[in-house]
Structure 1
Amino acid sequence: MWRVQQIVSKTSAKIGESGLNILNIDAQEETSRIIVVVEDSGNNIEKAISAIHEERSNIKFI
C-alpha cells in the first residue's frame, strides 16, 4: 500500500503548485481512494481536478 502514499504526495504537491490550499487530504489504503478537500470558490475545484489529471500520467512507480 506504499503506492497510495506515493500518489498522495505527488498529487498534493501538484495541487499546491497550482496555487490551491488543501484543507484536508485523506488516503484510504484499504480502498486505495484519495480524498482531497479544497475551498470551493472561483474555479478551485476545476483547477484541482486538472492538476490531478495532469500529474496522473507522470506518476512512475518505483
Structure 2
Amino acid sequence: MFLLALAAFTAFEWIMLAKNLGSGPRRATAFYVIHYILAAANVVFAVILARIGWGAWKKAS
C-alpha cells in the first residue's frame, strides 16, 4: 500500500508542477525543458512504483 500511495502522490505532484509551470513569471526556455523532463521522468517512476506495489499487493492477497 505504501508504494501505491507513493506512486499516486508522485504522479499527482509532478503533473501539477508541469501544469503550473506556465502560470509563473516568464523564464528561460531551458528552465521549462528541464522541468518538463523531470516531470516526465518522475511520472514514469511513479508508474514503475505502482506496478511494483500492485504486484506485491496481489501476491500478498
Q: Would you say same fold, with TM above 0.5?
A: no
User: What is the TM-score of this pair, normalised by structure 1?
Assistant: 0.39
User: What is the TM-score of this pair, normalised by structure 2?
Assistant: 0.40
Q: Rg bigger for which structure?
A: 2
Query: Which structure is higher in RCO with an 8 Å CA cutoff and minimum separation 6?
Result: 2
Which structure dedicates a bigger proportion of its chain to strand? 1
Which structure dedicates a bigger proportion of its chain to helix? 2
